[in-house]
Amino acid sequence: MDNRRQNRRQQRSRIMLIIAAVIIVLAAVILCIALGVFDRTGLFRSDETAAESGTEGWTSERSNPNAIVYDGKTYVYNDHLTNYLLLGVDTEGSIQEKKTPGSAGQSDSIFLISYDRVKETTVGLAIPRDTITQIEKFTPGGDSLGFYSDHLNLQYAYGDGKRKSCELTSAAVSRLLSGLPIGGYAAVNLESIPSLTQFLGGVEVTVPDDSLSEDNPAFYKGNKVVLDETNTELFVRSRDTRKEQSAIVRMNRQKTFLDAFASKLAKKQKKDASTVTTLYEKMKAEMITNMSTDQFVDIAVAERSGGIKTIPGETGHEGVYDVYRIDDSGLYKMVLELFYEEEQ
């Protein structure tokens, strides 16, 4: 009997200790949130991460827990913005085909379009495919292997080739951009891009370099060329993999195409309000998206401010692969400039 009583007392003591520990942990979490140690919004980096990345001038002293103090100025996220991720995927066949993790194709074109709903303007960010950042890898069966530092374009491959791939890539880009919220995505196969130019009756571009002049004599630097269903894929997809940083060269051509395409689409939409809706329906079978036609219309007719910027970094070659190493301090400043406002 005495042994049973002693066992019960020991069990009660252990339970009380566990309860006390839980209360202490909860109290610590609440205190950390109150002091701004934990990021409740995902819109900014922790103090430690900012310090490690070289973003000098950062401080966590702020009256608004959702604000950032940088170089003595306080910034808050501009909640008038909606950010969309546009992906060009290098796969063969239908993008609607479900694939196993690790074989779902790579997102060789990565662009972020930020739409200001009040000013009705957009700004674009080009993100090099070879950007080295944290991506989540999975087994062919779909089990997470954790996070690894690797090429950003591989993140798409570890999904299902459809929505999961888009969601994973959106999350990776959000982490790269200090937790920037991404409100929608759209992914198309690069081989389906000619359908876009065909729909508009051709898109005129000024060729930015001579990288394709051997493949098409008309593609020499400074020449004005009309892209159509016969030459668009060459312009936006081809690169010489024998040359280092050929993906960056191709990305610059893609920026040229995207800018020209957006300009012509906007003009056509303003003349005919059904243009974007018709294009959306035409591309539905060749596109993975969670965006509505209204959202596509918004960014199509918005005034483009600032063009398409490339996130700051340095090109390199490690082993047999090209890499793009982010300038953390420069990128952090760019994020503040484009997506935050100084608190008055």
Please state the φ and ψ torsions of residue 144, each to the nearest 5 degrees.
Answer: -70, 135
Same domain flag for 24 and 167: no
Same domain flag for 53 and 136: no
104: pLDDT confidence band, cut at 50, 70 and 90? confident
Distance CA 133, CA 100 (A): 22
Final residue before a domain boundary, out of 33, 52, 76:
76
Q: Is residue 290 part of a domain?
A: yes
Same domain flag for 247 and 166: yes
Percent of the chain at pLDDT > 70 equals 81
Same domain flag for 154 and 276: yes
Give the structural domain span for 201.
Answer: 80-311
Same domain flag for 43 and 110: no
Is the torsion defined by CA of 66, 69, 70, 75 positive or negative?
Answer: positive
pLDDT at position 48, please? Answer: 38
Is the torsion defined by CA of 153, 303, 117, 198 positive or negative?
Answer: negative
CA 228 to mean position of chain CA atoms: 28
Q: Is residue 10 part of a domain?
A: yes
41: pLDDT confidence band, cut at 50, 70 and 90? very low
23: pLDDT confidence band, cut at 50, 70 and 90? very low
CB 231 within 8 A of CB 202: no
30: pLDDT confidence band, cut at 50, 70 and 90? very low
Which stretch of 38-42, 50-54, 75-79, 234-238 has the lowest confidence by average pLDDT?
38-42
Domain count, the chain: 2
Final residue before a domain boundary, out of 76, 91, 123:
76
Say what the pTM is. 0.80
Residue with the larger pLDDT of the pair 240 and 136: 136
User: Which tokens in the block code for residue 84?
Assistant: 């969309």
**What does the pLDDT look like over 200-238, one tens digit per residue?**
999 999 999 999 999 999 999 999 999 999 999 999 999
Domain containing residue 175: CATH number: 3.40.630.190
Q: Cα 125–40–42 angle (5° rounding)?
A: 15
Per-residue pLDDT for 9 more than 60?
Answer: no
Of residues 312, 335, 319, the one with CA closest to residue 150: 319
**What does the pLDDT look like over 57-99, one tens digit per residue?**
444 344 566 688 888 889 999 999 999 999 999 877 778 888 8
In b/e form, how buried is each residue of 138-157, taking b as 16+ CB within 10 angstroms? beeeeeeeeeeebbbbbbbb
CB 59 within 8 A of CB 36: no
pLDDT at position 344, please? Answer: 76
Final residue before a domain boundary, out of 59, 76, 93:
76
User: Which tokens in the block code for residue 42?
Assistant: 């995902």
Q: Is residue 330 part of a domain?
A: no
Same domain flag for 188 and 72: no
